[in-house]
């Protein structure tokens, strides 16, 4: 049968044969583009081995002041005296610049060898691999607080025994077949940004562990301008993907907080959500087709039609599978033309409850801009503290603005909250959206607070992750957690969870802490809520265990208020104890049956979602989660 012709951006010589759309096996190499990534194959050359982000980007203390180094973010080269005062007041902690950061270990856990597997890997494939300790160590973990603390204190006993770098779907097929044949456990590794423990090496695993690093699978395989679809290999990093598409005047528009470092495959595996989902959709809205290699074959949908009614949609078996069923290799996505106009804005509200009512009204009228995010007072003050030191004149102007807010607007600074806005589209559409949004804000006593504040608040999202590691360095443990909730329980959940954290801190004699929240994504029926929690842990024996105990209580409170187990971080290992109750016994049995069929030897034994061993042994059912408050 003749191959279907695919319209691509690359001019094809008349003598060449066009491949079937999305079929890498028959793809003419002249139709694909290998992407030069900002992240090298040896990740530690550009990224920290002991925490989040670039090697040259970091908060640090100097002369008693917190500063930020690096030229990749607006805060680069800035002194932050207000942030320093905020830390001192909130945690009664003085920055100590003399504290050393952890040093790279000189020895690494001894690998568990599987000689037949390694021999066949060398002799029968062309896949690059490494047994070096540093390559193994940096792929043994994600970015949870527990991961980083364990890394700093050299607590990992099991790390990958070998790292492989496939360069195509076919390479992955070979590797999965080899692992299945020799009973080698595989960990699909993308950007390493998981905050659910999903890619953390199971510490009790006895078999050889092979980390399958997808970073060299980052080609643009084809682009169809007429259908506005594109096919990328799953290892491409978010910022690389968008850079390549921008050169073509296009965008996917998926921008999670981890966008700089996370991969397309990781987005699919966790059912990710981006900050601009109001315009572009969540990852499940953007995916047209996806290929996943399993020990029993490749799972994919053959048709690229925009919608099909053909039984259960197996795209959704792959979405959210968290590396437990196979390796995602290729993804077909929707693309959009780059917006003509991008404009930031911000709003101030007298209190959080008024802000939530505003968010509800915006969702009800379905007039959300690309991004609208509401911060509570604690988070608003934290954001204000992160502003760099200003000149005398700028400080005077800020003082007048504050007087306008407090004296003339009658707003209490201990209650005020703010929303950041991002508008994208044609000029007329943006102007219309702005008019509607500011009209709705006024209905709930909100008023414009400037585009500069909105832009700064949006971009600061990418810097906040660096604060967690700086805090840990100075004696503060902190992390975020999230949920989604129906609108009628949104304010209740925010209040109840924060009060539960306060209560748990009191019971555990924790005096210096912060707990804040923001509403980040809105839907017809509800919203996503992010919580940020941290406490001073100087002289605390087991700070991470203490943090996890409090977070566990907070999660119980979330569930009792009608919130979800996760909106977009996924279940991983740290929320797996609730998974069975969340999806029912029938749902967990269905997942287990799928797992047994696709991965009969359990080589993808990450322990995420519902571990197969638990299901096989049929343990006593976990107690049901607390009933939602009415």
State yes or no: pLDDT of 417 exceeds 60. Answer: yes
Alpha helices in 444-489 (DSSP H): 451-474
pLDDT of residue 33: 87
pLDDT of residue 405: 63
Confidence of residue 610 (pLDDT cuts 50, 70, 90): confident
How far is Cα of residue 530 from the mean position of the Cα atoms in its chain? Answer: 12
Give the separation between CA 373 and CA 344, rounded to whole angstroms.
12
Check whether 32 is labelled as a binding-site residue. Answer: no
Structure tokens at 63: 């002369």
Query: Mapping DSSP to helix (H, G, I), strand (E, B) and coil, where does residue 348 land?
Result: strand
State yes or no: pLDDT of 618 exceeds 80. Answer: no
Q: Annotated catalytic residue: which of 73, 280, 513, 530? A: 530
Check whether 325 is labelled as a binding-site residue. Answer: yes
| Run of H or E residues at 153 | none
State yes or no: pLDDT of 239 exceeds 70. Answer: yes
Check whether 366 is labelled as a binding-site residue. Answer: no
Averaged pLDDT for residues 122-131: 97
pLDDT tens for 529-548 read: 999 999 999 989 999 999 99
**What is the sign, positive or negative, of the torsion defined by CA atoms of 197, 203, 209, 210?**
positive
Per the model's pLDDT, the better-predicted residue between 39 and 624 turns out to be: 39
- Write phi, then psi, for 512 (nearest 5 degrees): -110, 110
pLDDT of residue 12: 30
Strands of the sheet with 162-165, listed across from one edge: 128-130, 162-165, 209-213, 185-189
Confidence of residue 18 (pLDDT cuts 50, 70, 90): very low
Check whether 440 is labelled as a binding-site residue. Answer: no
Give the separation between CA 41 and CA 28, rounded to whole angstroms.
25
Query: Mapping DSSP to helix (H, G, I), strand (E, B) and coil, where does residue 47 land?
Result: strand
Strand-pair category, 476-486 with 526-536: antiparallel
pLDDT of residue 388: 86
**Partner residues linked to 484 by β-bridges:** 528
Beta carbons of 306 and 229 less than 8 angstroms apart: no
Minimal CA–CA distance to 533: which of 556, 520, 551, 549? Answer: 551
Query: Mapping DSSP to helix (H, G, I), strand (E, B) and coil, where does residue 35 land?
Result: coil
State yes or no: pLDDT of 3 exceeds 50. Answer: no
Confidence of residue 457 (pLDDT cuts 50, 70, 90): confident
Beta carbons of 102 and 469 less than 8 angstroms apart: no
Beta carbons of 598 and 294 less than 8 angstroms apart: yes
How much is the mean pLDDT over the chain? 90
Check whether 624 is labelled as a binding-site residue. Answer: no
Active site residue 513: no
Check whether 147 is labelled as a binding-site residue. Answer: no
pTM, two decimal places: 0.91
State yes or no: pLDDT of 402 exceeds 80. Answer: no
Residues 6+ apart with CB under 8 A from 594: 317, 325
**Partner residues linked to 513 by β-bridges:** 535
Check whether 272 is labelled as a binding-site residue. Answer: yes
pLDDT of residue 461: 87
State yes or no: pLDDT of 401 exceeds 70. Answer: no
pLDDT of residue 407: 59
| Run of H or E residues at 388 | none
**Partner residues linked to 294 by β-bridges:** 297
Averaged pLDDT for residues 432-445: 97
pLDDT of residue 539: 87
Structure tokens at 370: 């690309």
Confidence of residue 303 (pLDDT cuts 50, 70, 90): confident
Confidence of residue 151 (pLDDT cuts 50, 70, 90): very high
């Amino acid at each position: 049968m003749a191959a279907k012709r695919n319209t691509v951006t690359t001019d094809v010589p008349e003598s060449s044969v066009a491949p079937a759309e999305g079929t890498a096996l028959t793809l003419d190499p002249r139709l694909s583009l290998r992407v030069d990534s900002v992240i090298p194959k040896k990740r530690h050359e550009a990224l920290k081995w002991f925490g989040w982000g670039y090697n040259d980007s970091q908060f640090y203390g100097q002369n008693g002041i917190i500063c930020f180094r690096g030229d990749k973010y607006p805060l680069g080269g800035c002194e932050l005296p207000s942030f320093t005062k905020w830390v001192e007041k909130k945690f009664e902690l003085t920055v100590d610049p003399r504290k050393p950061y952890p040093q790279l270990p000189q020895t690494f856990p001894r690998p568990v060898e599987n000689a037949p597997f390694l021999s066949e890997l060398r002799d029968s494939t062309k896949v690059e691999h490494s047994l070096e300790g540093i390559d193994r160590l940096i792929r043994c973990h994600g970015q949870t607080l527990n991961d980083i603390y364990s890394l700093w204190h050299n607590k990992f006993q099991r790390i990958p025994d070998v790292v492989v770098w496939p360069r195509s779907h076919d390479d992955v097929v070979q590797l999965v077949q080899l692992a299945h044949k020799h009973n080698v456990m595989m960990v699909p590794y993308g950007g390493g940004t998981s905050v659910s423990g999903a890619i953390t090496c199971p510490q009790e695993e006895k078999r050889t562990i092979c980390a399958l690093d997808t970073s060299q699978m980052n080609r643009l395989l084809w682009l169809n301008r007429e259908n506005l679809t594109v096919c990328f290999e799953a290892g491409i990093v978010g910022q690389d993907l968008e850079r390549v598409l921008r050169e073509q005047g296009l965008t996917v528009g998926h921008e999670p907080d981890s966008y700089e470092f996370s991969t397309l495959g990781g987005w699919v595996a966790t059912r990710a959500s981006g900050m601009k989902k109001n315009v572009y959709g969540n990852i499940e809205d953007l995916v047209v087709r996806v290929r996943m290699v399993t020990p029993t074959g490749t799972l994919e949908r053959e048709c690229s039609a925009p919608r099909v009614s053909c039984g259960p949609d197996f795209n959704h078996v792959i979405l959210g599978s968290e590396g437990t069923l196979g390796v995602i290799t290729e993804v077909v996505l929707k693309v959009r033309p780059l917006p003509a106009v991008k404009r930031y804005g911000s709003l101030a509200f007298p209190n959080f409850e008024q802000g939530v009512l505003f968010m509800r009204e915006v969702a009800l009228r379905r007039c959300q801009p690309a991004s609208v995010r509401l911060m509570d007072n604690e988070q608003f003050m934290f954001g204000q503290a992160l502003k760099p030191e200003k000149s005398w004149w700028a400080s005077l102007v800020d003082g007048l603005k504050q007087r306008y807010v407090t004296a003339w607007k009658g707003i209490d600074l201990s209650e005020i909250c703010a929303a950041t806005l991002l508008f994208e589209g044609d000029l007329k559409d943006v102007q219309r959206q702005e008019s509607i949004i500011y009209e709705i804000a006024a209905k709930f006593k909100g008023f414009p607070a400037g585009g500069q504040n909105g832009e700064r608040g949006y971009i600061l999202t990418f810097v906040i992750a660096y604060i967690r590691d700086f805090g840990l360095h100075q004696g503060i443990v902190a992390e975020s957690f999230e949920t989604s909730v129906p609108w009628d329980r949104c304010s209740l959940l925010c209040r109840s969870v924060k009060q539960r954290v306060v209560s748990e801190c009191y019971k555990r004699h924790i005096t210096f802490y912060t707990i804040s929240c923001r509403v980040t994504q809105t839907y017809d029926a509800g919203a996503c809520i992010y919580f940020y929690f941290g406490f001073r842990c100087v002289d605390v024996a087991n700070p991470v265990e203490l943090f996890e105990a409090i977070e566990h209580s907070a999660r119980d409170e979330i569930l009792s208020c009608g919130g979800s187990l996760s909106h977009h971080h996924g279940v991983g290992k740290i929320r797996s104890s609730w998974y069975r109750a969340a999806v029912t016994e029938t749902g967990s049995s269905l997942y287990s049956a799928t797992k047994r069929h696709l991965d009969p030897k359990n080589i993808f034994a990450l322990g995420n979602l519902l571990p197969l061993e638990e299901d096989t042994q049929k343990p006593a059912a976990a107690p049901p989660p607390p009933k939602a408050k009415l």
